[in-house]
Amino acid sequence: MAEDSIYQALEVLRRGGVILYPTDTVWGIGCDATNEQAVARIYDLKQSVNKKSMLVLLDQIDKVSLYIQKVPEVAWQLYEADKPLTLILPGACAVAPNLIPDEGTLGIRIPDHEFCNKLIHKLNRPLVSTSANISGKPSPMSFSEIAKEIVDGVDLVIDRAWEGRPTGKASSIVKVGVNGEIEIIRP
């Protein structure tokens, strides 16, 4: 029964749909990160065009190099540190162009969440992740705080049985430069 949620999500994502799903931090809105039309739908749903507000989730650290042209060495060490951690890395590639901000970076996180990891593994592509809120509004800390227009605006809401024990707060964000310089964006 719970596995059905993964197959339903796969079907929706493969046809360009948008899902509302739990992560190890907060509930997220997501789509196939390689699908430009699906990414555009999320911007519309969030009422935002801020490319810096979306990141991608991967199921394994070694897949980072598939979406970043040359991963700075320090990034590998940071990914081994405390989680949840989003790294903003230079040299984004192989994702929808409207997901990449002007400076060419991509935020990538490896979630510690069973549903996310199973879904991403089966999708075999990065999953867009952005908090389930309208731009400028507070990020919902639980499913009950998600605005009705968000819930109504997605193609599939994942069963709350997958929620697990989220942290209830967004991940830390660290920006890594081409030469390994580090800037803490959100502690």
For residue 157, give every residue at least 6 positions away whose Cβ sits within 8 Å of its Cβ, in sequence order, or none. 19, 20, 151
Most confident of 1-15, 96-110, 133-147: 96-110
**C-alpha pair distances (Å), 99 with each of 19, 96, 113, 141, 177:** 17, 6, 23, 24, 19
What is the side-by-side strand order in the sheet with 127-131? 156-157, 19-21, 28-30, 127-131, 55-57, 105-109, 85-90, 172-176, 182-186
pLDDT digits (tens, 9 = 90+) for 27-82: 999 999 999 999 999 999 999 878 778 999 999 999 999 999 999 999 999 998 87
Q: Is 90 exceeded by the pLDDT of residue 134?
A: yes
- Tell me the pLDDT of the chain averaged across its residues: 93
Write phi, then psi, for 97 (nearest 5 degrees): -55, -35
In the three-class reduction of DSSP (H, G, I as helix; E, B as strand; rest coil), residue 23 is classed as coil
Confidence of residue 101 (pLDDT cuts 50, 70, 90): very high
pLDDT digits (tens, 9 = 90+) for 168-187: 788 999 999 999 999 999 99
In the three-class reduction of DSSP (H, G, I as helix; E, B as strand; rest coil), residue 170 is classed as coil
Rounded CA separation 13/9 (Å): 6
Rounded CA separation 67/76 (Å): 14
